[in-house]
Amino acid sequence: MNIVDTHSHVDMIEGITTEEVIQNAHDAGVNNIILPCAYPRDIEKINEFTLKYKEFYGLLGVHPSEARDWTDDLYDKIRVLAAENKKIVGIGEIGLDYYWDKSFNDIQQEVFIKQIRLANELNLPICVHDREAHLDTLNILKEHNHGSKVVMHCFSGSVEFMRECLNAGLYIALGGVVTFKNAVKSKEVAREVPLEKLLLETDAPYLTPVPFRGKENQPSYTRLVAEEIANLRAISVEEVASQTTRNAHEIYNLGEI
């Protein structure tokens, strides 16, 4: 089985070594792992991880919670690194997060738009963080994104919002939340989303799937996400793995499967 974890903060996993993360992933059939960037200080670190480990690809960007730390120098730094390193396969994770602090929503929106423009300039896909900001996120993407493929990371919306995203050409990424007993919306989305628009992820070390909930997440658990989605759709896990891996390779240009 060949699975791609399209969103994993491997650099933040503390309980095991990076080499153990990779071995566990291989043992579960997870052969490629995409590392997003959250903090400005981590841009070079993510780039270096992709150069050191063949299994890793990277996304560069600034998380909405860190938008106040954005400087236009970061635009140039990301542009240069992406040009030099073909394993930088997207801009992310970027977007809007109104959950913790609504006092700088305007700054979040401004930085989101700047990074969308960067993705467009580089002809790279966009990985979007959207937490309690569905309408603004989608409206900004519709207005400002011109040509970049878009992945809605850790999708938390309803089936109705999913359909709006699909109508706008976006892709849906699901992770460990889909295994949670009370995650009704995520399970409904998992049943309804077309397989050709679906990606798998962990968001490790966060959002660990059942039966390991409460412990540190890791890329190998992407297989548990695939198994849960297969169960919800009454299809084989091989079918889920095959199509989502194909999607990941096409969106992020990971090369031949």
The C-alpha angle with vertex 210 and arms to 252 and 14, in degrees rounded to 5, equals: 65
pLDDT one-digit tens code per residue, 101-129: 889 999 999 999 999 999 999 999 999 99
How many domains does one find in the chain? 1
* Contact indicator for 7, 127 with CB cutoff of 8 Å: yes
Asked if the structure places residue 48 within a domain, the reply is yes
The pair phi, psi for residue 88, each rounded to 5°, is: -85, 110
In a domain, 257, yes or no: no
Q: Is 54 exposed, middle or buried (0-12, 13-18, 19+ CB in 10 A)?
A: exposed
pLDDT in tens, 35-86: 999 999 999 999 999 999 999 999 999 999 999 999 999 999 999 999 999 9
Flag whether 63 is in a domain: yes
Torsion of CA 229, 234, 238, 243, to 10 degrees: -70
Segment 181-196 shows an average pLDDT of 98
Q: Which CATH number characterizes residue 162's domain?
A: 3.20.20.140
Contact partners, residue 216, CB within 8 Å, separation at least 6: 13, 14, 15, 204, 205, 208
Residue 173 near residue 5 (C-beta atoms within 8 A): no
Residues 202 and 219 sit within 8 Å (Cβ to Cβ): yes
List the domain range (segments joined by +) for residue 83: 3-252
Answer yes or no: is 235 within a domain: yes
User: Looking at the domain assignment, is residue 57 inside a domain?
Assistant: yes
Q: Is residue 58 part of a domain?
A: yes
Band (pLDDT 50/70/90 cuts) for residue 257 is low
Q: What is the pLDDT of residue 100?
A: 86
